[in-house]
Amino acid sequence: MNQIKTLAFDMDEVITDTLSKTITLYNQLFQKNITKQDLVGKRLSDTLTKEQAELLHREVDKEGFFRDLAIKEKDTKAILEELNKKYKVFICTAAMEVPNSLKDKYLWLKEELPFLNDQNFVFCGDKSILATDYLVDDSLYQLEGFKGQGILFTAPHNQLREDHSFVRLNNWNEVAEYFL
């Protein structure tokens, strides 16, 4: 009997476009006009002083910030729904970095991806504890400790990174091609 494969997907910058909302907040707080293109090869935090980083983190950690995130790409939901028919799909998010995001992310997932089993939502810090076959994530840090097959999802901060051996998928159509 073949056992069904398990797929874990990160939420921020894989399923949701958290960066766009964070950039909008950043631009409002600091009277800037940065874009995603300005962040190729670096994280937003690389552009901030310690005080600015603390202020931005406090704002992002406010209840409601993660409640209305935009979906990453127009086909993301449909592809996840198809994957869920073939694999056991988990959503794994490092929510411990932003404690107030837990409720928002849970409600967002229930509303936006109702076809997924909420028992497969994993809110954690270090994803090395995951025991899925695959992890699709934009963070090399999270992939490096993962024991299954890690897959790097392209985001501005990792776009220039070639110092890894992970399969790279650039968008959800490539996710569909790879897994379906």
Neighbours of 7 (CB within 10 A): 26
Q: Which of 10, 104, 137, 138 is catalytic?
A: 10
**Cα–Cα distances in angstroms (integers) from residue 158 to residues 15, 34, 103, in the given order:** 16, 17, 28
Q: Which candidate, 114, 107, 103, 102, places its Cα nearest to that of 77? A: 114
Structure token digits, residue 90: 């988990």
Is 75 one of the catalytic residues? no
Q: Which three-class secondary structure state does DSSP give residue 88?
A: strand
> Position 141: which residue type?
Y
Q: Which three-class secondary structure state does DSSP give residue 64?
A: coil
Q: Which of 12, 17, 104, 138 is catalytic?
A: 12
d(CA 153, CA 76): 13
Q: Which candidate, 180, 26, 11, places its Cα nearest to that of 102? A: 11
Is 38 one of the catalytic residues? no
Residue keyed to tokens 């069904």: 4
CA 116 to chain CA mean position, Å? 16
Catalytic residues: 10, 12
